[in-house]
Chains A and B, each alone.
Chain A
C-alpha cells in the first residue's frame, strides 16, 4: 500500500522549530556521524525524510527522536545547513504534543504566549490560594511553629496531591507514547518477558544518562546530569523531609547540606545552559525555542526564591521569608504542573522510556528476523534436494 505524502505537514512542524528540514538532500553525512544512530534506529536522515514528505503516521511511531541527545555533530557536518539536530529536537517537541491528549502541549509549543500566560495564571492563582490559606491558618509573622503562615504538614499534603495530578497526566501521555510506537503495531512480536528483562534500563538511563556520555563533548552530559541529580535530590528532600527542611531557624545539617548542594547544582546548571544559549556556543545551543528559555528561567527563579526564603527564615526575617515562600510556591506549582506533563520537562519520562522501548522493539525485530530465517529453511532444503 502506498503511503500518502502530505506536503503540508512541514508547515505544522515549523512552529516547533523545524525550519530548515527542506534543505536536506539526503547525503547521509548526519546519520554517519551520529554516535547514537545504529540499526534499527537510523537517524537523523530518515526521520527528516519522513518529515519532508509529511508521513505523519510513520513519525508518530518513531522512537528515534528520543534516542538523540542533540550533541549537534550532525548539524556541524551537514553540507546543506539543514540543521538535522534541531529537526530532531523539533520532532521531540511535536511528539510531546502528539502524546499529550489534552492538547495543552500543542498550545504551548505553538505559541509561547499561551505557555507564559498559563504559567502566570497558575502562579497568580497559587499565590492567592496560599495567601488566603495562610491567613486562615496562622500569621504572616511566623514562618514555623504552631502559628506558621504555611505549615509544612499542609504543604506536604499539597505536594503529594500535586505529584499525583501531574503523574496522572504524564503517565497517561506515556501510555499513548507506548501505543503509538509499540502497541498498535500488530506485527511486532513483543513478549512480556522482554518487557521485564529490559526494565532495568528505565532507572539506569534515568539516573545515569549513560548514553549521553557517548557524545564527543562530555561537558554537556556532565552539566545535564548534575542538573538532573540536583533536581532529584531536591525532590526527594521536599517529598520526604519537608518538615525537617522547613524547621528552624537553626540549620539542620543532616538535610540542609544536601539541599545546599542541590541548590548550587540547580543554579549553576541553569546558569551554564542559559549562558550557552545566549552565546549560541555550539550547534545544540544555536536555535533556542521559546519553550527552552521559559523552562530554564523558571528553574532558575524557583531555585533563587527557594534559597532566598531559606536565608530569610534563618535570618529571623519571618515576614519576608513567608513572602518569598509564597512567590516560590507560586512558581513551583506551574513549573511542575505545566512543564512536566505538557512541555520540555516531559522528556524526563519520554527519553528513558524510549530507550527502554527501543530495546524491547529491537529484540522483537531480531526475533522476527530469525523466525523468518527458520521459516525459509525447509524451502531451502527442498531446493537442495532437487539439486542433488
Chain B
C-alpha cells in the first residue's frame, strides 16, 4: 500500500457522543493507525468551523483521505463529501464511522463503548485507504414523455407537459378518453358537472399540437433508463398484425386508475338477485339518463344508500376507497332534488368527510333530511324482500350503532357504494415499467410523504388512483406534481447519475446470465453479440445482489469493492 495521508475527525456531537465515548481517547488511538496524518476530536464536526477544519487540513496537511467518526452517514455524509470537494478532494474519498447511532446511543458510558468506537474508526481508516476517486456520470434527458392512461390524471399530466412545449404520447387502452370520471354525473361536494370538466379536458388534449393521443393502444415494452427510454406502443384494435411504433421518451407517467369492486362478491345485499339493488356506477348511469326509477318503471319512495361495499372489511379490502362517502351524500342531494317526496337513508360505517368543503356538504345533506344509520365495521346490513303488506319493496336490517337497536329499514331502491380496486392488469403494467405494488395491488411511490409521485425506478412516475384510491382533486394534483418533476429534469437538460454502480468485467464474464434475473431493478442487459452481460449504470442502485451472485466474480460494485470490504473487516477485528 502506498503511503496515505488520512485525516481522522472524531465528533462529540455536543454531549450525544462525548457523554458515553471518550472522544479524545478515540482520536488519540487513531493517531497511530497506518497512514493517519491528522487526528482530531471536535464538538460539532458538521458545524461550519468543523467543516472548515477538514477543508484546511486537506489543503495544508495534504490529506488524501478523510474519515469522520460521527452520526449516521444518512445524516451528514453529503455534508462531509461537499467539504472534501470544496478542498479539491474527490468526494468518494471520504468515509464515515457511525459512533452515535451504532455506539453512544445504544451503550452505557465506559471503556467498552470507547473501545467499540476505536474499532469502528479503525475499520473506517482501513477502508478509506482503499477508496478510489469516482466520477459521477451525466446522461442526456429526452424531453418527450409517455403518459399511460387517458383518465383525468393522465390528461392533466399530458396537458401540463405539453403546455410547457414538450411532446407527450398519451396511450389509452379504450376507444375514448375520460376514464372513470366520464362515467359520473355530478361531482361532490360542489355538485359541478363531471361531463363539463371532462369534455373540456378531452377537447384540449385532442387539439393540442404537442399531444399524440393513441387510443386503443398499450405499452408493450419499455427499454432503457431515465432520460433515455424506448417505449414500444401497440395498437390493439386492428386484428392480426397490430401496428407497432417505438418512441424515445425521457420519462413515463403511469395513470392507469382503478376499477370498481364487483358487488356480486358480497352476498348479503342480494346484488344480481334483487332487481333494485344497484351499484353506484349503475346509479350514475341512471342520473345521466335523467330518471331515477325502479326496474319496473315506478318511482322509488324509499332510497337507501349503503357505504363501504368491498372497502374497510376484513373479507375484501381493508382500505378506505375515499370517494364513496361524499359520492353517497351527493346521491342524497340528487335524489332529493329529483324526487322531493322520497325518503333517503344513508347507511354508513364512519362518515369520512375530510376533503375541502366536505364537512359542510355533510351538514347540508342532513339539512335535506337524510336519515343516517350507522352500522358496525365488520358487520353488514342484510337485505330481504318486504312482505306483501309493506309499503316498500325491500327491508334492510341494520345493527344500528347510534341507538343500539336492530333496525329494519324500508327501501325500494338500494344503491351500493362499491369501492375501488387496482385494475386486473396492474401487475402487468408494474412489470413493464418496473415498479412495485403493495399488498393490495396499488403501485408504490418512492416515499409515502416526501416523494409521493416518483417510484423506485428513476424516470417512472405514478399519479391518480393507480397509486391508491383518490378523488379528482388529489388525482389532478398528483398528475401535475409528476409533470413538475419531469419539467424540472427537462430544464436541467442533463441528468447526473450517482457514481456508485456495478460494473461487469467482460473478460471474466462467462455469459451465464444469472445476474440478469437477479437484479431487482432490471438494470442488467445481455449483449447477444458479445455474449456478455452489461450493467446499465443509470438503472443500477448499487444494491450488490449481482456482485454476490456472479459465479465468475466478474462484477464489481464501485465503492463496494472486495478489497474495501475486506479492509473494513480487517480493521474492525484488528
In the assembled complex, how far is the CB of residue A64 from the closest CB belonging to chain B, in whole angstroms? 14
Contact A2 B371 (CB under 8 A): no
A204 at the interface (CB under 8 A from B): no
- Whether B366 contacts A53 by the Cβ 8 Å rule is no
A6–B363 alpha-carbon span in the complex (Å): 22
Contact status B369-A22, CB under 8 Å = yes
B-contact 0/1 string along A77-89, CB 8 Å cutoff:
0001000000000
| Cβ–Cβ contact A5 & B409, under 8 A | yes
Q: How far is the CB of B404 from chain A (nearest CB, A)?
A: 9
Q: Mark A1-21, 1 if CB is under 8 A from B, else 0.
A: 111111110100000000000
Contact in complex: A22, B366 (CB < 8 Å): yes
B343 CB within 8 Å of chain A: yes
Q: Determine whether B200 belongs to the interface, using a CB cutoff of 8 Å to chain A.
A: no
Mark each residue of chain B from 398 to 437: 1 if its CB lies under 8 Å from any CB of chain A, else 0. 0010110111111000000000000000000000000000
Q: How far is the CA of A32 from the CA of B403 in the complex (A)?
A: 16
Q: A53-86 CB contact bits vs B (8 Å, 1 = yes)?
A: 1010010000000000000000000001000000
Q: Does chain A have a CB within 8 A of B95?
A: no
**How many B residues, CB 8 Å from partner?**
24
- Establish whether residues A22 and B403, one from each chain, have CB atoms under 8 Å apart when the complex forms: no
**Known contacts A8-B343, A49-B402; A25/B366 CB under 8 A:** yes
Complex partner residue of B370 from A8, A22, A26, CB under 8 angstroms: A22
Known: A5-B407, A23-B363, A80-B363. A53 touches B373 (CB 8 A): yes
What residue of chain A has the Cβ atom nearest to residue B399's Cβ?
Answer: A2
Determine how close the nearest CB of chain B comes to the CB of A17; give it in whole angstroms: 16
B403 touches A53 (CB 8 A): yes
Kindly state the separation between the CA atoms of A50 and B395 in the bound complex, as whole angstroms: 18
Cα of A63 to Cα of B373 in the assembled complex, Å = 24
Decide yes or no whether A46 CB sits under 8 A from chain B.
yes
B408–A7 CB distance below 8 A: no
Q: Give Cα A99 to B195, complex, Å.
A: 55
Least distance between B385 CB and chain A CB atoms (Å): 15
Contact A80 B366 (CB under 8 A): yes
A346 at interface (Cβ–Cβ under 8 A)? no
Residues from chain B with Cβ under 8 Å of A111 in the complex = none
Q: Which of A2, A7, A23, A50 contacts B366 (CB 8 A)?
A: A23
Contact with B along A202-242 (1 / 0, CB 8 A): 00000000000000000000000000000000000000000
Nearest residue in A to B400 (C-beta to C-beta)?
Answer: A53
| Known A7-B371, A25-B372; contact A50-B363, beta-carbon cutoff 8 A | no
Neighbouring A residues of B395 by C-beta, 8 Å = 4
B343 A49 Cβ-Cβ under 8 A: no
Measured between beta carbons, the chain A residues less than 8 angstroms from B343 are: 7-8
In whole angstroms, how far apart are the Cα atoms of A80 and B364 in the complex?
10
Q: State the Cβ distance, B411 to closest chain A Cβ, in Å.
A: 10
B408-A5 in contact (CB<8A): yes
Chain A nearest CB, measured from B210 CB (Å): 49
- Cβ of A52 under 8 Å from chain B: yes
Tell me the complex Cα distance, A229–B550, Å. Answer: 102
Contact B406 A4 (CB under 8 A): no
- Nearest-CB residue, chain B, relative to A28: B402
Q: In the complex where A23-B363, A80-B363 touch, is A7 in contact with B405 (Cβ < 8 A)?
A: no
Q: Which of B367-385 contact A (CB under 8 A)?
A: 367, 369-373
| Nearest CB on A from B348, distance (A) | 11
B455 within 8 A of A: no
Across the interface, which residues of B come within 8 angstroms of A58, CB to CB?
405
**Contact assessment for A1 and B406 in the assembled complex, using a CB-CB cutoff below 8 Å:** yes
Find chain A residues with CB under 8 A from B351 CB.
25
When the two chains form their complex, are residues B408 and A53 in contact, meaning their CB atoms are under 8 A apart? no
A55 touches B405 (CB 8 A): yes
User: How far apart are the CA atoms of A1 and B362 in the complex, in Å?
Assistant: 31
Q: Is B302 an interface residue (CB 8 A)?
A: yes
The listed residue (B302, B362, B367, B407) touching A53 by CB distance below 8 A is B407
> B residues within 8 A CB of A49?
402-403
Of listed B345, B370, B371, B402, residue having the most chain A CB within 10 A: B402
Q: Is B397 an interface residue (CB 8 A)?
A: yes
List residues of chain A with CB within 8 A of the CB of B369.
10, 22
Per-position binary interface string of chain A over residues 91-102, scored 1 when its CB falls under 8 Å from any chain B CB and 0 otherwise: 000000000000
A52 contacts across to B, CB distance below 8 A: 371-372
Partner of B408, one of A2, A8, A25: A2
| Complex Cα–Cα for A50 and B403 (A) | 7
Q: CB-CB < 8 A to B403: which residues of A?
A: 46, 49-50, 53, 55
Chain A 29-49, CB within 8 Å of chain B: the 1/0 string? 000000000000000001001
Q: How far is the CA of A58 from the CA of B405 in the complex (A)?
A: 11
Which residues of B sit under 8 angstroms from A50, Cβ to Cβ?
403
Contacts A22-B366, A23-B367, A53-B373 given: A3-B345 contact, CB under 8 Å?
no
Question: Do A22 and B407 have beta carbons less than 8 Å apart?
Answer: no
User: Which B residues touch A7, using CB under 8 A?
Assistant: 302, 343, 345, 371, 410
The chain A residue sitting closest to B351, CB to CB, is A25
How many angstroms between the C-alpha atoms of A6 and B410 in the bound complex? Answer: 8
Q: Max chain B CB contacts within 10 Å: which of A5, A46, A58, A80? A: A5
Q: List 16 other contacts, CB 8 Å, given A7-B410, A50-B403.
A: A3-B405, A3-B406, A3-B407, A4-B395, A4-B407, A5-B373, A5-B410, A6-B410, A10-B369, A22-B366, A22-B369, A22-B371, A23-B366, A25-B372, A52-B372, A55-B403
Report, nearest first, the 5 A-B pairs whose CB atoms are least far apart.
A7-B343, A2-B408, A2-B406, A22-B369, A49-B403
Q: Please give the residue numbers on chain A whose beta carbons come within 8 Å of chain B beta carbons, in ascending order.
A: 1-8, 10, 22-26, 46, 49-50, 52-53, 55, 58, 80
What are 27 A-B residue pairs whose CB atoms fall within 8 Å in the complex? Answer: A1-B406, A2-B408, A3-B405, A3-B408, A4-B410, A5-B371, A5-B408, A6-B410, A7-B345, A7-B371, A8-B343, A10-B369, A22-B367, A22-B370, A23-B366, A25-B362, A25-B366, A25-B372, A46-B403, A49-B403, A52-B371, A53-B403, A53-B405, A53-B407, A58-B405, A80-B363, A80-B366
